[in-house]
Structure 1
Amino acid sequence: MTKTDRLPAKPIAEKLLPKLIKKIRIVNELNQEEFGQILEPPVTQSTVARWEKGEQNPDTIQFPKLAYLLDLSLEQFHQLHKSNCLSNLKDLSIQKKFLVPNRQHYRLLKRGAKVWNKWREKNPDIIPQLAGAKLETLALDGMNLDKADLRGVELRNLSCRNSFYRSANLQGAFISEVDFSNSQFRGANFSHGEICKSYFNQTDLKKANFEGVRASNIQMKNATCTEASFINANLDNVRVFGTLFRNTKFDGVRSSNIYICDCEDELPINDIKLAELTYLKRYASSQFEYFLQSLTLEKKLLDLANKLVDKFGNYNFANAVSEFCSEPNELHPSATIKIRKTKDLLIVKFDSQPASNSNGRTEIAEPKIILRKIGDVIESNFTATEVNESEKIAKLTQQIQSENVSKFIPIALKLIDLQGSKFCSNNYKLEKIDNSIILSSVAKIEVELMRVQIGSESNKIIRANLTKSCLTHFQEILLELLT
């Protein structure tokens, strides 16, 4: 009999400590023998039984461990022990500290996939409780472990191919030399675990959580990691040939020795975020160059569209919408471009000159959307010709509007000089605010057509969408006022 097993000389009359010990054990789902083994130093099952009956007190050497299990400091535990008041038990929030698998579930799992999957079919609402399980050198192929509680499991030297772990919780798991090839892990949680020497080839890891994971010497060939999270993960010696990383989160990830090709002598890269692009650059260089050219044209078109709609479009303050529409003219009759911009949306439509068919009839096609930006996502479907035509329209628009503004400003200043800081006529409102001349259309809703800052040496166009008819209208008004 050890020192910690000895019986006291007289019975103990305490009430709190026996109930406290039993509650800690029950919350952690441990039997008396298992509970005795987690203590420091360990004690026998019979000793734990005597503690719970109040026939014996734990040695003070056990107090630090008991305090830890209660989330109390040693001093707080001593005060609780000294109070010996059962009412204090109600104020304690005892949390589960040890992960222990359900014994029935654990035994069923070890009987193989056929028995396990049949049990799951009969009990679809039961979540397998396998947290803390230690599994080694088993064939677990084809297992249905969807939604299973696998927190803190230790998986070593296992075959788990063609299995299902969708939405399973593997938080804090230790995984070594396990083959998960062709398995389903959609929505599974691997966070803060450790994975080494394992295979995830052709697995579905969509929306899987690898946050804070330490992973080394693993293969993820042709896996799907769409919308997965590798935030703050630490990855080394990982093979990702053919792996999809769409909308994958890599914030704070640390990676090294990432292999992107299915060959033995390739040079690895150190940034997993660049895996797919680097593969294209190395092994599909002509496609990559074409992609870069297309990306350059897309950026050019986006810049042109923003310039046209912001500087040469109408602005509706009520709806916060800018619109631009070019019109065919004698200098550029071949195409028009229409742009609409809101806070989160930009749409560019291109309309080429109507073509004639073999019968000589004009065919009018619907305007083609060549670029769309929704939030941060940019979509495009353009030809190099359409970008070049758009650039010509932008240059011509700037030329025309500069000329119209230079003609309109003297008229506007004269009208304001004659009528005051605000002048209204038919469907227009002209006003001067500080050093800016602003022209708006007020036919149905107020839309700003022009805003120009007047300078001592030159004027600065903030916005200008003046038509010839508008310019003629104000020329006639000024002539009428002066005669």
Structure 2
Amino acid sequence: MSGAKANRHRSRTEAEGIMNSHITVAVASSTTDILSVGMANQKHVEILRQGVRAWNAWRAEHPDVEPDLRGADLAGTDLSGVDLSGARLIKAVLYATKLFAANFLGADLAVADLRGANLGRADLGGADLCGANLCGTDLREANLSRAVLRGALLSGADLRVAFLYKARFNGADLSDANLLRSDLHEVDLSGADLRGAKLSKEQLVAAKTDIYTKLPTKLQN
């Protein structure tokens, strides 16, 4: 390798290292206090465990209360249609939970465990999902517009026909995800891993990528 080529290779390697460190810092800074947050409000957890109807009625009666469900274990429950808008769900365990058409508008789901959950047609507009685990999650027709998913894990997730306008997937793992027919206009895919993902060239052109974005080897027609 010539001296010039070696220098370019070294510069690119150093730049990649800096980029990766920036992504890590961005995710960490957005969740600085996650490990030190307190426990969920047990009263809120108990009301939610009474079922969606009881919970939504309680929320309607207490519109100014910000639900505190940090770290709550709700794995495997059926919460379809639940109103969790604006709720604090940092590190919540929602593994394999049914959340079809649920309202998470503006909710804080940083580092939440949503693996295998059903979030079809859910409203996650403006939600914080930094570092959240959504591997294998069903997000078909979900609204993720302006949601922040820096460093989130979405490997194998189904995002078909999802509305992702201006969502931020910086450094997110979208490997093997299905993004066909989803709206990627102004979506930030900087540093994201899209290897094996299903999407079209037209979709990709509408999104923002950079030299650190790992693209699939084949794009759909």
| Fold conserved between structures, TM > 0.5 | yes
> Which residue of the partner structure matches residue 61 of structure 2?
122
User: How far 1:195 moved relative to its partner?
Assistant: 1.6
> Which residue is 1:223 aligned to?
162
C-alpha displacement at 1:159, in angstroms?
Answer: 0.7
Aligned pair partner of 1:101 in 40, 53, 57 = 40
Distance 1:200 1:112 in 2: 22
Q: Does the alignment pair 1:251 with 2:195?
A: no
1:105 maps to amino acid: H
CA distance in 2, matches of 1:96, 1:174: 15
Bigger relative CO (Cα 8 Å, ≥ 6 apart): 2
Give the letter aligned to residue 108 of structure 1.
Answer: I
User: Comparing both structures, which one devotes a greater share of its residues to helix?
Assistant: 1
RMSD: 2.0
TM-score, length basis structure 1: 0.35
> Could you tell me which residue of structure 2 aligns to residue 313 of structure 1?
none
Structure 1 position 234, deviation (Å): 1.8
Indicate the SS of the match to 1:235: coil
Match of 1:179 among 104, 118, 131: 118
Deviations 1:410-463 (A, max 9, x none): xxxxxxxxxxxxxxxxxxxxxxxxxxxxxxxxxxxxxxxxxxxxxxxxxxxxxx
Structure 1 unmatched runs, 5+: 1-94, 262-269, 283-483
Alpha-carbon distance between aligned partners in 2 of 1:96 and 1:224, rounded to the nearest angstrom: 31
Is 1:147 the counterpart of 2:116? The answer is no
Question: Is it true that 1:234 corresponds to 2:173 in the alignment?
Answer: yes
Identity of aligned residues (%): 21
Matched-pair contact (CA < 8 Å) for 1:99–1:152: no
1:48-447 superposed matches below 5 A: 97-260=36-199, 271=215, 278-279=219-220, 282=221
Regions of 4+ moved over 6 Å: none
Number of positions where the alignment pairs a residue of Structure 1 with one of Structure 2: 175
Structure 1 distance, partners of 2:183, 2:167, is: 10
Rounded Cα–Cα distance in structure 2 between residues aligned with 1:96 and 1:228: 25
The CA deviation at 1:134 is 1.1
Segments of structure 2 that go 5 or more residues without pairing to the other structure are: 1-33, 201-213
Amino acid in structure 2 at the alignment position of 1:97? S
Q: CA deviation at 1:190?
A: 0.4
TM, length-normalised to structure 2: 0.74
Structure with a larger share of its residues in strand: 1
CA distance in 1, matches of 2:141, 2:174: 19
Q: 2:29 maps to what in 1?
A: none
